[in-house]
Amino acid sequence: MIQAFLQRLARFLDRPFFPWKRLIVGFSLCQFSFENWLLYRQYGVFKSTVRPKALADVITQETFDKSQEYSRAKARFSFVSSCFNEVKGLLVITSDLYPKIWALSGLVVARFLPLRFSGEITQSLLFVFLFNILDTLLSLPFSYYHHFVLEEKFGFNKMTLKLFFTDLLKSQMLGVVFGVPIGSAALALIQKTGQSFFYYLWLFMLVLQVTAITIYPILIVPLFNKLEPLKPGSLKEAVEALARKLKFPLHELYVIDGSRRSAHSNAYFAGMPWKKKIVIYDTLLEKSNDQEVEAVLAHELGHWSMSHTTKILLISQFHLFYIFALFSVFIDNGSLYRDFGFTSERPILIGFQLFTEVLSPTDSVVKLLMNMLTRKFEYEADAFAKKLGYGAELARSLIKLQVQNLSNMDADWMYSSYHYSHPSLTERLKAIGWKGEQAPLKTQDSDKPIKAEDREL
């Protein structure tokens, strides 16, 4: 029934001279304009010198001003990079770069590879490689500026040039090592299963995601960071006791050297449902006391207890099935291929790329809905931690993290609704029931109020 409906829809959309290119360019320009209008609204919030009422008693004016300065710098960078990406994307579309790189890929395959490696799959993989190299080179100046100028200016960057390029090389190598077999398998699956390919492709991706969740903390994370067991002490005992109380299947408790690259902090858990590991950033331990770290982990365990991760995984699987099913409508759409310079060939990979361009407006709607859901989950996890008795500690920890990361402390409601997967700090404090303190919060190892100089976390 689903397949019959999709086939009728495919025939309806495959019309001669349909202006697909103009439609995609229009979508792109509208989305670019809308998102930068939201950024303009948010920039007005970043220019404010008045501390939010909920933070007036716990955040110094100096800290707030520094946070606002950092947020404005990131907003300006975001605007410039988005303009560059928009121009780059429009040039790719209007200059017919897809068929040109596709033709180059075919030429390389024909001249330099044995006959047994010829075919659409090999040409598609080479197309992705060449396009990715081009995109990486064009994005390199922005990535360099972000780490070594913007983040460096505010004391967050801990990377060296050697580490920067080593990470880049590792990422490219991992892309080849995993991308070649996965891409080959996906394309072969589509070729061999015909119009019902989306059922099989969805099952393949489901297995792949579960596998990735399993191997990522074991094989991938150690390539970039060093993990060490949390040292015995009161914090370890408290976390293990909390895990036992909640029946959380804690198997390992690690500290990760996040400070090697950045002064930002975090904590997370990973692993299979019956065997979990908690990973705490060394930057979080450096500036927070034990009770505040416990509060952060109580929040994370709230996500686990209420199955938030599982719910998001199920929703993502539904979304993925919807995308693959809808792609079956466009996979043989001759008018779409012709409008982008493919007169005789209909490469599956190119078809999927063009299909994602057509689908971009709905992606924005999905993003908005998912943000609404994840913000709800954040409120629930905060309430969970508060119910365990960590309300005040969680509030102090959130404020500390906000200060130490120089995160923006207030947000335009439209901008946050569209972009933020988490509620703003003031919204979370209000939901927790934070009443404020009589003096600015203090760091773990100092009697001085938290100021911008304490941003090493």
The percent of residues in the chain predicted with pLDDT above 70, rounded, is 94
Model pLDDT, residue 318 = 93
Q: How confident is the model at residue 409 (pLDDT cuts 50, 70, 90)?
A: confident
Binding-site members for Zn(2+) are 299, 303, 378
Model pLDDT, residue 37 = 96
* Class of domain 225-287 (CATH, top level): alpha beta
Q: Residue 16 class from Cβ within 10 Å (0-12 exposed, 13-18 middle, 19+ buried)? A: exposed
pLDDT tens digits, one per residue of 415-426: 988 998 888 888
Q: Which of 392, 168, 146 lies closest to 264, judged by CA?
A: 146
Q: Which of 220, 116, 119 lies closest to 178, judged by CA?
A: 220
The percent of residues in the chain predicted with pLDDT above 90, rounded, is 46
Q: Which residues contact 427 (CB under 8 A, 6 or more apart)?
A: none
Place of tokens 């207030």: 410
Mean pLDDT, rounded, of the chain: 86
pLDDT tens digits, one per residue of 16-68: 778 889 999 999 999 999 999 999 999 999 999 998 887 877 788 898 899 89
Model pLDDT, residue 286 = 80
Please, what sign has the CA dihedral across residues 320, 307, 373, 404?
Answer: negative
Known catalytic residues? 300, 382
Model pLDDT, residue 426 = 86
Is the overall model pTM greater than 0.85, yes or no? Answer: no
Q: Is 278 helix (H, G, I), strand (E, B) or coil?
A: strand
Model pLDDT, residue 450 = 34
CA distances from 314 to 236, 307, 321 (A): 32, 11, 11
Instruction: Indicate where the chain has its CATH 3.30.2010.10 domain(s).
Output: 225-287
Higher pLDDT, 260 or 313: 313
